[in-house]
Chains A and B, each alone.
Chain A
Amino acid sequence: DADVTQTPRNRITKTGKRIMLECSQTKGHDRMYWYRQDPGLGLRLIYYSFDVKDINKGEISDGYSVSRQAQAKFSLSLESAIPNQTALYFCATSDFLGTQYFGPGTRLLVL
């Protein structure tokens, strides 16, 4: 089984809808991250969490929120989706040393 899983893998939604992307990990890491990737570009950090009680904004947090339900679970929400949030979203985990392990990604299309 994969160490980092993301659900759903693909999602189509309409402008204004609220959606949640979920991430689970079995690596036992305290640190979890959400990234966004637009076509042809690198990954940009949305939010990160260093433990269950810690939430930090990344470079592009506007329009997004997160919830760290447990050490193993970190969810990303789009409160009111807009078309320019169409992108590939990745969850990642790391231990204290910082080496990151990524999930397979969620492809989101906002119409």
Chain B
Amino acid sequence: DAKTTQPPSMDCAEGRAANLPCNHSTISGNEYVYWYRQIHSQGPQYIIHGLKNNETNEMASLIITEDRKSSTLILPHATLRDTAVYYCIVRPVGTNAGKSTFGDGTTLTVKP
């Protein structure tokens, strides 16, 4: 699986958009970008995933660059409850999904 690079930490003001970047310059054509978050040592929670088109769900939006070498997770109106560690992972759908590893992620702190 392609490796990812994320900043170790970011701050965001409550109510503002949180934009979390991820670099995955070695991503392969059949690999998806997944985002998870982990709130205070709880089990990681799935947020969103995408292949090459931008995606949006009730939690967040995912913007993937045209060359697919980087992506940005957007939390449109961050709340204090969004304070967590956010993990960006790339993996092929279906085969070999189990080989995915989680890097150290980005610790997002939402401040009042």
Contact = CB atoms under 8 A, between A and B. Distances in A.
Given A42-B87, A45-B100, A98-B97, A104 B42 contact: yes
A96 B43 contact: no
A98 B32 CA distance: 10
Contact of A98 (B44, B91, B102): B91
Nearest to A107: B41
A83 interface: no
Interface string B15-44: 000000000000000001010100001111
Contacts of B32: 98
Contact of B97 (A31, A37, A44, A58): A31
Contacts of A50: 98
A102 B104 contact: no
A45 B44 contact: no
Chain A interface main SS type: strand
Given A41-B104, A42-B103, A104-B42, A97 B93 contact: yes
A100 interface: yes
B93 to A, nearest CB: 5
Interface string B37-60: 000011111100100000000000
Contacts of B103: 42
Closest 10 CB pairs of A and B: A102-B43, A98-B97, A48-B98, A42-B102, A43-B102, A42-B104, A102-B44, A42-B103, A98-B93, A104-B43
Interface of A: 4, 31, 33, 35, 37, 40-45, 48, 50, 56, 58-59, 88, 90, 92, 94, 96-105
Given A35-B102, A43-B44, A44-B101, 20 more contacts: A37-B41, A41-B104, A42-B102, A42-B105, A43-B87, A43-B101, A43-B102, A44-B102, A48-B98, A48-B99, A92-B44, A96-B94, A98-B32, A98-B91, A98-B93, A100-B36, A102-B44, A103-B43, A104-B43, A105-B42
